[in-house]
Structure 1
Amino acid sequence: MYFERLAELDFAVSQKLNPDVADSLEYQQPKRKGRARYILAKKYFDVKEYSRCAHYTQECTDSVSVFLHYYSRYMAGEKTIVEDESDKSSETRLAHLKLLHHDLGRLRNTPKWDGYLCYLYGLVLRKMDLPHSLQVLQDSVNLNPLNWAAWLELANLIKNSEMLSQLKLPDCWMKFLFMGHILGELHLDEAALNLYEKLHQGVFEHSLYIKSQIAKIYYSLRDGIQAATKFSEIREEDPYCLDSMDVYSNVLYVQINQPELAQLAHQAFAVDKYRVETCCIVGNYYGLRGQHEKAVLYLQRALRLNPHYSYAWTIMGHENIEMKNSNAAIACYRKATEMNMRDFRAWYGLGQAYEILKMPLYSLYYYRMAQSLKPDDSRMLVALGDAYDKLERLHDAKKCYWKAHCVGDLECIALLRLAKTYDKLKETDHAAAAYCDYLRDSEKQGSGEGDEHHGQAYLYLASYYLSKGPQFLDLAREYAQKCVEYPTTLADGKALLREVVQRCQEENSRVNLTLP
């Protein structure tokens, strides 16, 4: 995948450069004496016979074969872990990593050491959770800036923008691709979008990778229309491209665009039915149709193809939630967070699952994790507020709902929740103001016509103004009349109207008695 990405970027750049400009890169090949052994070992690697590949390269001395030897040993160990689910002890999982750590460590400061071995060493250190993995991976990208796999491993270690600013990186074009990737991973979407737009307007005008990253950033910004447009452009330019099309299927799922999603699933299946992206696309299609068992079947197929694909684990968690299988959903979401700690959807899903199981303290913890990754996403804030509300921490809930409203609440939920919280706290003036703001904002967005929440808001305002005194009876009557338009508040609205009329009559009688 990494070499495909570089090849695609190289092709995109070549469309902008003078054809007379020669490629200055030379790829070192094994010498003739060891070439046959290398070719045989590489064939074993290609068919995933990693142990045989390692066996045939153990005596090789050229740099390519040496890297292939150690990398195939790493892959053999990872393959064993995936296949042997019965033995999950940490010692067993770390055995091959410890041996690699020892053997690669002996090669440091020798003539054999290069950027690729440094990358593999950093990968082993990261898997073992050793602290100097960050420095080793920085050394790797400085030794060989064109190894995109090393950049991605380095990105996995960056937890925040402060860590990012302290990195010492080579000043080359790959650095900008890395910055765009990590800004997107840290959910600094505006900064990532600006960077990718600049790259797209420059030498990467024809890069489908850059276009797909821009589309994914728009999706993260909840601009589904722009995201769908960008993905459609990619499909028009390359109908056989499956890279990131699973994200496109998610965009269509959220838009409930079943015809387009069906077409995408059909075409992806025709291109390559054994691609992970294809399985996720088909899974999303069946999920949108409500056939959740079939959706899970295809997502399981995706995970057999790539057990480390966190996106598929997250979607399968969603499908299990739909099937009301909270325990299975929790297992899927946990797997997703193991693969990608920055997947806020998986943390949010864990919060939902524990909320369904009526375990609010657990729910609160996972919603906090999701909100820490997307601090300005109103959905995370509303969910966090709901968790506080269930724990009767009403002042904390109030803060969450207010912030959700301030950052932009597209669903108009935050103000409604805020009003109810004010009411529980007996802050009736604030509750009435929040209900008024809720009705005004939802009217602007054209949502909620005939919604029972509107009826409840009108009912509260009618009761509120009725209690405020005779000077507010006209407002009370206006809101009570609105209540009658909603089935859920029809009876209460009629009762309030009768009370308003009675109060008006009493007020008129009192005024008449005071007249001379």
Structure 2
Amino acid sequence: MSGLSQAEEAQLRIKLQEAVVLCTERCLYHSSKWAAELLNSLPFSSDDGSDTEIESPQADARPPQTPTSRVAKEGTEQRLEARELNKFLLAKTYFDCREYDRCAAVFLPGPLPKGSLQPASSPASASKHQGKGKVKVTGTPSKPNVDIEPVQGLSQKALFLSLYAKYMAGEKRMNEDSEMILGPQDGGVTMNKELPVISAILEEWFANLPGSGRQSQGWLEYLYGIVLAKGKNEKQALEYLVQSVNRYSYNWGAWQELSSLLGTIEEMQQILPHLPQNIVSFIFHVSASQELYQSTEQVHNSLSQVLSIFPTSAFLKTQRALLHYHDKDFDEAEQIFSQLILSDPHRIDSLDNYSNILYVMGMKPRLAFLAQLATNTDKFRPETCCVVGNYYSLKSEHEKAVMYFRRALTLDRNFLSAWTLMGHEFVEMKNTHAAIESYRRAVDVNRKDYRAWYGLGQTYEVLEMHSYALFYHQRAAALRPYDPKMWMAVGQCYAKVNKPTAGIRAYKRALVAGSHYDAGVGSSFGSGESAGLGGGILDPDVLYQIALLYERTGDMSECASYMELVLAQEEGPDFEEMSGDVGGGVGVTPTTSKARLWLARWEFMRGMYQRAMELANELCQDGVEVEDAKALVRDIRARIERERGEGR
């Protein structure tokens, strides 16, 4: 994507302005905020009217209507919207006051709740009062039959607002009916009871659309996609969301729902040809890649191109920070978040991720400041609760941390970070049952959360249920194929379930994965198994585990070769001839000392007494495994003396 011309930039500005209005009309406030922030991150130019004097005649001029807005509303929709204007304004005010049932009833009046104060009436009088505006719902609750006739007489805007209000009313009641987070009755299966009715109405509406002579605007497809996804009908949900973004591209909520349904990079590649080719699609590609942990040079370049168009966009800068975070470049991610705080100190979005970075870096004073800043801005945002929870976790006050993560989930049960972080806290508190339940809820919310899969694996390892642990670690490794930690966990589980050959493969994958985090250094030993510790150093712990697994398979020569490799990491490979740089080793560690002791015993068994003595003496000097080394030295001397005696 190259830079935009002045005409293209002006067109983009108008489309974003229109998106703010259209999303606000339909009460899609997060999408409206996203468009407005993007609009204001466009650089000012003298041609866009931003420098117009107040007294100038141009100051009152409205932006020209875009072709898209003219095409989107054909005559039928315009007439219906004009006729409904007063009622629509009333419904929207009810929605803004969070009176969702009242908002829906403006256009879709339904029956009074059971046990109402409505006087008993005869069937005749009941049929007499059944007006044309009422939606008749029959059938079972799971598959209701809906009279679509009154719905067809509504504009798409009014229908969307009414059904969206029904959806929000259902969500509100669902939260009210839900038990305390991880309480004794909390089964995590509470459903939005309005979904079947909304689904039935939309299904009928779309079935009747071809013969109605009307053209869909994309908003109802978006709502239907949400409803289908909630009902676990993900394939059909994906189809409707793709239709939605093709009919109207500037509803960011539709792109977010689309992204949530993509579990792998392959799935994203499959739908890309079916998406519109515009700036919002480009931003979606960057955002979805970030959520799939694709911190590649190509994604960074794409993000740089978009940032050249929206240079001050906090949303896009956050995407950059998260890419660095996933790539374990915490310093760079922290700097970006720090600059975002300075430019907009009241912005709460993604502060939970920032607090994770500060937690990993152990920056307690800065995390305390962030918690205070977020609390002063809005203490009842789930992000704020997660920031405070991370602060207490860093102070090892795990009970308080759990309390704040619970509070975040009370505010939003689908807030992913809180489920995962609460699982971590329960692990620290040795409450494995609660940890497993927290991690399970996290993966229910988002299957792409490798931290929750990895946490499940670790928790099952604590319970010594290694087959279960293996399954969850494999899921985590599939999401993070370039993270050596994931493959080390897989290898460890294979060793526990007595599959040493598979364990060797997994540990070798860990070595290869380590090269992803190696700063520009290529293959270390010409084998393609690059280092994971930087500077061409292979992880001695991984090498040692591979060696032990080869020993279990009876391949002693390979075992000895890997033990030698472990020792080689003390000094590190010499790159002086190749690159003019000398790679520093890891030095003497408990792992390298264990390998040295193993090799000393191996050489002793083979009759290579001189080499065995050298290795054992080195162990005595290192101060690790000293007693075993001294015993081995005595054995070697005794064997040498005995052989000398036999030789005489």
Q: State the TM-score, normalizing by the size of structure 1.
A: 0.90
Report the CA distance between 1:90 and its aligned residue.
11
* Aligned partner letter, 1:192: V
**What stretches of structure 1 of length at least 5 have no aligned partner?**
none
Residue 418 of structure 1 corresponds to: 546
1:289 has 2:392 as partner: no
1:121 has 2:214 as partner: no
* Aligned partner letter, 1:129: K
CA distance in 2, matches of 1:50, 1:482: 76
- Aligned counterpart for 1:462 among listed residues 589, 600, 614: 600
**For structure 1, which segment, 403-412 or 116-125, has the greater mean C-alpha deviation from structure 2 after superposition?**
403-412
* Aligned partner letter, 1:116: W
Report the CA distance between 1:503 and its aligned residue.
4.6
1:490 has 2:583 as partner: no
CA distance in 2, matches of 1:443, 1:264: 42
Report the CA distance between 1:309 and its aligned residue.
0.9
CA distance in 1, matches of 2:570, 2:85: 70
Residue 399 of structure 1 corresponds to: 505
- Say if 1:81 and 1:94 are closer, same or farther in 2 by CA, change over 3 A: closer
**For structure 1, which segment, 294-303 or 403-412, has the greater mean C-alpha deviation from structure 2 after superposition?**
403-412
* Aligned partner letter, 1:482: E
Report the CA distance between 1:366 and its aligned residue.
1.0
CA distance in 2, matches of 1:256, 1:51: 47
Partner SS state of residue 206, structure 1: coil
Report the CA distance between 1:348 and its aligned residue.
0.9
* Aligned partner letter, 2:261: L
Residue 102 of structure 1 corresponds to: 200
- Aligned counterpart for 1:139 among listed residues 238, 243, 253: 243
Residue 31 of structure 2 corresponds to: 2
Residue 42 of structure 1 corresponds to: 92
- Say if 1:17 and 1:171 are closer, same or farther in 2 by CA, change over 3 A: farther
- Aligned counterpart for 1:431 among listed residues 530, 555, 559: 559
Partner SS state of residue 262, structure 2: coil
Residue 325 of structure 1 corresponds to: 431
Contact 1:283 1:299 in 2 (8 A): yes
Contact 1:253 1:261 in 2 (8 A): yes
Contact 2:263 2:447 in 1 (8 A): no
CA distance in 2, matches of 1:322, 1:204: 42
CA displacement, residues 131-176 of structure 1 (integer Å, 9 cap, x when unaligned): 3222211110011100011111112222333433332111110001
1:11 has 2:52 as partner: no
**For structure 1, which segment, 248-257 or 172-181, has the greater mean C-alpha deviation from structure 2 after superposition?**
248-257
- Aligned counterpart for 1:254 among listed residues 352, 360, 366: 360
Contact 2:570 2:592 in 1 (8 A): no
Written as runs of structure 1 = structure 2, the 5 A alignment for 1:352-367 is 352-367=458-473
Partner SS state of residue 166, structure 1: helix
Task: Say what the alpha-carbon RMSD is for the aligned residues.
Answer: 3.0
Contact 1:448 1:454 in 2 (8 A): no
Partner SS state of residue 13, structure 1: coil
* Aligned partner letter, 2:102: R
Residue 173 of structure 2 corresponds to: 80
**For structure 1, which segment, 222-231 or 428-437, has the greater mean C-alpha deviation from structure 2 after superposition?**
428-437
CA displacement, residues 293-328 of structure 1 (integer Å, 9 cap, x when unaligned): 111111111111111111210111111111111110
Contact 2:171 2:192 in 1 (8 A): no
Report the CA distance between 1:13 and its aligned residue.
1.8
* Aligned partner letter, 1:431: C
Residue 486 of structure 2 corresponds to: 380
CA distance in 1, matches of 2:404, 2:570: 39
CA distance in 1, matches of 2:406, 2:45: 42
Residue 479 of structure 1 corresponds to: 615
- Say if 1:137 and 1:457 are closer, same or farther in 2 by CA, change over 3 A: same
Residue 577 of structure 2 corresponds to: none
**How many percent of aligned residue pairs carry the same amino acid?**
35
- Aligned counterpart for 2:306 among listed residues 177, 184, 199: 199
Report the CA distance between 1:407 and its aligned residue.
1.7
Residue 120 of structure 2 corresponds to: none
Contact 2:540 2:591 in 1 (8 A): no
Report the CA distance between 1:236 and its aligned residue.
2.6
Residue 270 of structure 2 corresponds to: 166
**For structure 1, which segment, 77-86 or 203-212, has the greater mean C-alpha deviation from structure 2 after superposition?**
77-86
Structure number with larger C-alpha Rg: 2
- Aligned counterpart for 1:54 among listed residues 86, 104, 107: 104
* Aligned partner letter, 2:615: Y
Contact 1:57 1:68 in 2 (8 A): no
CA distance in 2, matches of 1:336, 1:12: 33
- Say if 1:373 and 1:55 are closer, same or farther in 2 by CA, change over 3 A: same
Report the CA distance between 1:476 and its aligned residue.
2.3
Partner SS state of residue 240, structure 1: coil
**For structure 1, which segment, 121-130 or 159-168, has the greater mean C-alpha deviation from structure 2 after superposition?**
159-168
Residue 315 of structure 1 corresponds to: 421
Report the CA distance between 1:484 and its aligned residue.
2.8
1:343 has 2:449 as partner: yes
**For structure 1, which segment, 103-112 or 272-281, has the greater mean C-alpha deviation from structure 2 after superposition?**
103-112
- Say if 1:16 and 1:438 are closer, same or farther in 2 by CA, change over 3 A: farther
Report the CA distance between 1:507 and its aligned residue.
6.7
1:93 has 2:191 as partner: yes
Residue 60 of structure 2 corresponds to: none
**For structure 1, which segment, 126-135 or 65-74, has the greater mean C-alpha deviation from structure 2 after superposition?**
126-135
- Aligned counterpart for 2:377 among listed residues 251, 255, 271: 271
**For structure 1, which segment, 299-308 or 14-23, has the greater mean C-alpha deviation from structure 2 after superposition?**
14-23
1:453 has 2:591 as partner: yes
Residue 256 of structure 2 corresponds to: 152
CA displacement, residues 235-276 of structure 1 (integer Å, 9 cap, x when unaligned): 232222222121111112122222222222222222222221
* Aligned partner letter, 2:31: Y
Contact 1:455 1:482 in 2 (8 A): no
* Aligned partner letter, 1:157: L
1:233 has 2:331 as partner: no
Written as runs of structure 1 = structure 2, the 5 A alignment for 1:201-220 is 202-220=308-326
